[in-house]
Amino acid sequence: MNKTVLITGATSGIGLACARKFAANGDRLILTGRNELQLAEIRRELIGQGTEVLTLAFDVRDGRRAKELIERLPEEWAVIDVLVNNAGLALGLEAEYEGNFEEWETMIDTNIKGLLTMMRLVVPGMVARNRGHVINIGSVAGDAAYAGGGVYCATKAAVKTLTDGLRIDVSGTAVRVTNLKPGLVETNFSNTRFHGDTARAAKVYEGIKPLTGDDIADVAVFVTNAPDHVQIAEVLILATHQASGSVIARSNG
């Protein structure tokens, strides 16, 4: 059965890849993001391929706006089968004692509070219908801290804990909950972290073939298509030569 899939942060990276992969799977999409023009462009692309698409332009940090838009969904879009909580970011790579207060707030408000907001708005409907699937995009960074990434790693550790907590809370229902934990994925992630410093961002992926957004999106589609009695609770997805968040075997060639 085709599903209605809501994807946050759908204008680039893993979110955009998920939109395209779920569209190819025959699902209909509710795409959210901050950039209304980019959302409109993606909508035109996917509609041209025969996919039904609704776009909602808002920042997940704005809980009031998110609530307003979700509660005002047209009746034919109100039943959300899959929530992909993808919106998230890292900012800076300074030591914690030298970090930027505003960047900390942005990461915490987006990666933790934004994720919580979307679960609070969407999951009650899933519980009432006794079906649904929540996919939270965590990170290998949530398993252990690395130098300069303490706050970001803490937010992704929170994603793991919140995902586990939700899975416990809905265990008496048929709602499934998955934490996808990517390692190095070559998207605009590092470019955002380094405030548009493309050369510095490129060094993150030197000497290794990193994952792509499509690799993560493939797993997202896979877990939602598992049999109803199968809940894939957590998936750690690493590039072949990455062993953990901080151990990467880079080639010199």
| Average pLDDT score over residue span 40-54 | 97
For residue 150, the model assigns a pLDDT of: 97
Radius of gyration of the chain (CA): 18
Residue 78: phi and psi, rounded to 5, are -75, -20
pLDDT score for 194: 86
Average pLDDT over residues 233-243: 97
Question: How high is the pLDDT of residue 161?
Answer: 98
Q: Determine the pLDDT at residue 68.
A: 98
> What does the pLDDT look like over 90-136, one tens digit per residue?
999 999 999 999 999 999 999 999 999 999 999 999 999 999 999 99
pLDDT at position 253 is 58
Which residues does the annotation mark as catalytic? 152
CA 153 to centroid of chain Cα atoms: 15
Q: What single string gives the DSSP state of each residue in the chain? A: ---EEEESSTTSHHHHHHHHHHHHTT-EEEEEES-HHHHHHHHHHHHTTT--EEEEE--TT-HHHHHHHHHT--GGG---SEEEE----------GGG--HHHHHHHIIIIIIIHHHHHHHHHHHHHHHT-EEEEEE--GGGTS--TT-HHHHHHHHHHHHHHHHHHHHTTTSSEEEEEEEE--B-SSHHHHHTTT-HHHHHHTTTTS--B-HHHHHHHHHHHHTS-TT----EEEE--TTB-SSS-B-----
CA–centroid distance for 75 within its chain: 25
The reported pLDDT for the residue numbered 208 is 95
* Domain boundary assignment for the chain: 4-237
- Indicate if the pLDDT at residue 24 is higher than 90: yes
Q: What is the pLDDT of residue 73?
A: 98
Residue 2's CB: how many other CB atoms inside 10 A? 11
Q: Given this structure, which CATH class describes domain 4-237?
A: alpha beta
Cα(67)–Cα(79) distance, integer angstroms? 15
Question: pLDDT-derived band of residue 23, with 50, 70 and 90 as boundaries?
Answer: very high
